[in-house]
Amino acid sequence: MQTKDDRRERLARLIDLARAYRGWTRLEIAKKLDRDPGKLLPESGNPKLDLVASLADALDWPIGDVAEDLGTTSIEDVPKQDFAVLDQAALSCHRAGDWRGMITAAKRMLLRADSPTQRALSCNRAAGGCDGLGLYNRALPFLQNGLVEPGLPEGLRLMLSVNLANAHYAMWHLVESRATSRDVLDVLADREVHERRDRVCRAFARYVRGSSARRMAQLDSKRAAVHAAAARPDVQEAMIEYEDLADTFGDDRYAALANTCRGALIEVDAMIGHITGVEAVERLQVALDRVIDVAAHAPGDWLESWGWWCIYGCNVTLRHLPANQVSMMMAIFTNKAMEIADRLNNWSLRERAFSMEISRREHASEEPWVLDLDEVRDLIGTMGRFPAFRDKGHHILRNARVITFEGGPRWIGA
């Protein structure tokens, strides 16, 4: 049995490791751990959960590893609820859109987990909270750690895998997203698929694989037709599956996801010549009449779907319209996309809207770029969440004028 001195020694050793890893002073580690520099160690040697979580962040270790090193029984405020109760708490946070609460509940689940399946499920819940906050770079290790657990039920492994594919897709890791979604589809192709969960996994995997190929067409212009041709059947099958799921279960969320696929098909069909670029832009633009007043729409999957139609509209405009029409048409799509992103606090949409706005302004170089402080905060948040966007973010800050209400306008960078 650990004594108080044993517990304090273990905790002191991990704090010293974090200091060495970060190159921090005692004051700096105390600030990170929210502790008095003179009282870094609790007298009892029993750290509270917040301290364990902060120490895990400082070490860049999974929270479960820190807890194991300390001895899980020495953590003061590990909840007394059993694992199932904590899991329900995480799911309740998910339904309420309380993403930080979901991550906290999932971390508590990890401390209570006593089997590979429970640890993997905890990781999936934590990744869901990270996804809600747009923190895909933090979701990735949770999902990867969950997938290395041995002997998982196939359904749980499929959920982890398709969520991993989507996290890669959001980060523009297109090779990884396509390969991972293909693995999911290969597993499901070997048997009859009837259960709702498996059908959802299949639809999602088809959407991610098809959308990855669609994005590859944007990056690889020489093989754009090949990528677009590969994207079409996946996106179409995802749309059909989501429509059927919506009808079967009476769940409007699936109908919204089918609508997202429908918009992506318009972009793909323009790429492969099934419709003209002008026709594609018209279809995408007319549909936005449904969301003229974004504030009047409740946040949810349907509003997000129309946000993605805006991004598809930008892509088609850039690829197919004459240069003298690009700026005006893209302004319609980028403005609406950012309105929807702000209404939803959706970071993936923000990343795309900011990126599309840079492209638009290349066709309207004389137009000044003015940002208010809220937009600057959104931009900085996007830079932190999407490393591949960071250079674009710096470009915006170098070329934009920031309006501050306290001190009037000032320039950042330029």
Does the pLDDT value for residue 309 go beyond 60?
Answer: yes
pLDDT band at 412 (very low <50, low <70, confident <90, very high): very low
Q: Are the beta carbons of 178 and 213 closer than 8 angstroms?
A: yes
Q: What is the pLDDT of residue 111?
A: 86
* Cα angle value 32/348/344 (rounded, 5°): 90
Decide if pLDDT at 300 tops 50. yes
Q: What percent of the chain has pLDDT over 70?
A: 93
pLDDT of residue 376: 85
Of 20-34, 127-141, 399-413, the poorest mean pLDDT is in 399-413
Is the pLDDT at 406 greater than 60? The verdict is no
Statement: residue 408 has pLDDT above 50: no
All residues at 6 or more sequence positions from 409 whose CB lies less than 8 Å from its CB, including other chains: 370, 401, 402, 403
What is the rounded average pLDDT of the residues 117-129? 96
**Average pLDDT value for residue range 331-341:** 96
Question: For 125-167, what is each residue's pLDDT tens digit?
Answer: 999 999 999 999 899 999 999 999 999 999 999 999 999 999 9
- At 407, is the pLDDT very low, low, confident or very high (cuts 50, 70, 90)? very low
Domains and CATH numbers, the chain: 4-74 (1.10.260), 159-274 (1.25.40), 368-414 (no CATH)
Distance in angstroms (rounded) separating the CA atoms of residues 354 and 331 = 12
> Which residue type does 111 have?
L
Query: Distance between CA atoms of 138 and 123, rounded to whole angstroms?
Result: 11
Mean pLDDT of 368-389: 87
Selection from 18-32, 332-346, 384-398 with the highest mean pLDDT: 332-346
More confident residue, 54 or 60: 54
Q: How many CB atoms lie within 10 A of CB 356?
A: 23
For residue 63, pLDDT over 90 is answered with no
- For the segment 210-216, the average pLDDT, to the nearest whole number, is 98
pLDDT of res. 80: 60
**pLDDT confidence bin for 71, thresholds 50/70/90:** low
**Per-residue model confidence (pLDDT) at position 369:** 84
* Averaged pLDDT, 91-95: 93
- Provide mean pLDDT across the span 373-384: 86
228-254 average pLDDT score = 97
Contacts with 146 (C-beta within 8 Å, 6 or more apart), sequence order = 119, 120, 121, 122, 123, 124, 127, 152, 160
Alpha carbon of 300 to those of 136, 256, 284, 317, 342: distances in Å? 19, 9, 20, 26, 12
The pLDDT assigned to 239 comes to: 98
Question: Which has the higher per-residue pLDDT, 136 or 37?
Answer: 136
Lookup result for tokens 């906290």: 104
- Whether the per-residue pLDDT at 206 is higher than 80: the answer is yes
Confidence class for position 364, pLDDT limits 50, 70, 90: confident
Looking at residue 404, what is its pLDDT?
Answer: 59
pLDDT of 4 higher than 80: no
Mean pLDDT, the chain, rounded, equals 89
